[in-house]
Amino acid sequence: MRITDYHTRVLGTPWRNITYLVVETDSGLVGYGESRVVGKTHTVLQYLQDVRRHIVGFDPFDTEALYRRLTLLDFGKPGEVVMTGLAMVEMACWDLVGKACGQPVYRLVGGKVRDRVPAYANGWYTGERTPAAFADAARTVVARGYRAMKFDPFGNGDLELSRAEFKQSLAIVAAVREAVGPDIDLYIEMHGRFAPHQAIAVARELEPLHPGWIEEPTRPHDLPALQQVAAHTAIPIATGERLYGAAEYRELWPLRAAHIVQPDMTQGGGFLETKKIAAMAEVHSIMVAVHNVGGVISTAAAVQLMATLRNGKVLEHFNDFADAHVKQAGSPYPEVVDGAFAVTDLPGWGVTLDETYIAAHPPTYVAGVVQDPGLNMFENAAWNRRGQAARGEAR
């Protein structure tokens, strides 16, 4: 089997355009990859055209050679764009391999250790940034069967919070804890915004609320700062979504500064590279909660990966609460039922893309509208209102 061609499709959402790669072969099989790239969609699309010589004509079974061609042989240090493009192609290759073998991908890399993958909800806090609004929204998450949820209560703090923001952020977390009770896991997103002293102060106040983790409390590449925070709190620390591939985790392991790592296969080199990161995490007694902000293909692939991990913890999921139309890009969509994903027995990723639907829902690019994943959903809405007001469009 050889790759003969490939093309891309981009599904638009208000804050995370989702890019799909469709890889064709001389056997007639088609494989799917996916990524969610914020602010670099066009760059990744162009990169995929630039590396056609490394993709077309090759056997999709040879994913290790694909990695070598797209990283070492192009003589550059691969970063987010390269590792994202590689991930999309590599994921599509695994889909092809599974289909060619008539097996789900997880059976080709050691099989599964669980039939159901626990899920946590994200994207559910889209109302006012008040304790009452967060509490009401959190109740809807629990009512939908989730036993865990993540949220960012911190507004637009940068390095430090004002005293008023500090108090409001803690009040939001306390309100959510009171609303959902003691048996629901709360994961607190910090988006890499804090200086170590502020992260430590926040963590000290959060400890009585027993969060399941604090995520990216400091700048993602300032690992000594993360180590400093870890030394001053009993709350588990999660990080890793902005480390692109196994090599960027190398300095993290000996620091013992993280208890959970969150590799994102769609921008970190793909399925097998992420499994290698998870294996190194296991050696260091660290758990894995794969970062998943994508749609049907990345979610299906992440479920299969998590099913294989002896140190797997929980998988992120947005699409029950944010941009539900994303689910219609392919079928069957891997749904969360009673707080967990079931593991498919269909070949490959077990999903067929609806390219017609994706083409009918392209991204929109509007001047003056900011969609920044480093901000929470409330801040994005506020910036958008400012852009609309500047253009005389505010309602």
Q: How confident is the model at residue 378 (pLDDT cuts 50, 70, 90)?
A: very low
Q: Could you give phi then psi for residue 346, rounded to 5 degrees?
A: -85, 155
pLDDT value for 157: 83
Q: Three-state DSSP class for 39?
A: coil
Closest CA to 262 of 203, 225, 312: 312
Q: Where are the alpha helices (DSSP H) in the chain?
A: 41-50, 63-70, 80-101, 131-143, 163-180, 196-206, 223-230, 252-255, 271-283, 296-308, 355-359, 377-390
Q: How confident is the model at residue 376 (pLDDT cuts 50, 70, 90)?
A: very low
Residue with tokens 């005293």: 163
Q: How confident is the model at residue 181 (pLDDT cuts 50, 70, 90)?
A: very high
Give the global pTM.
Answer: 0.91
CA distances from 343 to 104, 255, 277 (A): 9, 34, 21
pLDDT value for 15: 84
Report the C-alpha gap between 291 and 88 in whole angstroms: 15
* Angle between helix 80-101 and 271-283 (nearest 10): 100
Q: With the C-alpha atoms ordered 150, 155, 158, 164, is the resulting torsion angle positive or negative?
A: negative
pLDDT value for 16: 85
pLDDT digits (tens, 9 = 90+) for 66-124: 999 999 888 788 899 999 999 999 999 999 999 999 999 999 999 999 999 999 999 99
Residue with tokens 């013992």: 256
pLDDT value for 366: 52
Q: How confident is the model at residue 391 (pLDDT cuts 50, 70, 90)?
A: very low
* Angle between helix 41-50 and 80-101 (nearest 10): 60
pLDDT value for 27: 97
Where do the domains of the chain lie, and which CATH numbers do they carry?
Answer: 106-349 (3.20.20.120)
Residue 394 pLDDT > 70: no
Kind of pairing, strands 260-261 and 237-239?
Answer: parallel
Query: Taking all residues of the chain, what is their mean pLDDT, rounded to a whole number?
Result: 92
Contacts of 259 by beta carbon, 8 Å cutoff, 6+ apart: 213, 236, 237, 238, 286, 287
Q: How confident is the model at residue 207 (pLDDT cuts 50, 70, 90)?
A: very high
Kind and range of the H or E run holding 315: strand 315-317
Closest CA to 300 of 34, 107, 37: 34
Q: Is 284 a catalytic residue?
A: no
Residue 191 pLDDT > 80: yes
Residue 295 pLDDT > 90: yes
Closest CA to 291 of 260, 259, 318, 315: 315
pLDDT value for 352: 97
Contacts of 241 by beta carbon, 8 Å cutoff, 6+ apart: 216, 220, 262, 263, 264, 291
CA distances from 293 to 296, 302, 316, 355 (A): 10, 10, 7, 20
Mean pLDDT over residues 190-213, rounded? 98
Report the C-alpha gap between 73 and 104 in whole angstroms: 31
pLDDT value for 365: 65
Report the C-alpha gap between 325 and 319 in whole angstroms: 8
Q: How confident is the model at residue 210 (pLDDT cuts 50, 70, 90)?
A: very high
Q: Which of 284, 291, 317, 325 is catalytic?
A: 291
Which residues face 22 on adjacent strands? 7, 32
pLDDT digits (tens, 9 = 90+) for 224-259: 999 999 999 999 999 999 999 999 999 999 999 999
Residue 30's identity, in one-letter code, is V
pLDDT digits (tens, 9 = 90+) for 2-11: 999 999 999 9
Q: Which of 7, 42, 191, 221 is catalytic?
A: 191
Residue 141 pLDDT > 60: yes
Q: Is 54 a catalytic residue?
A: no
**And the tokens for 172?**
């939001």
Q: Where are the alpha helices (DSSP H) in 207-270?
A: 223-230, 252-255
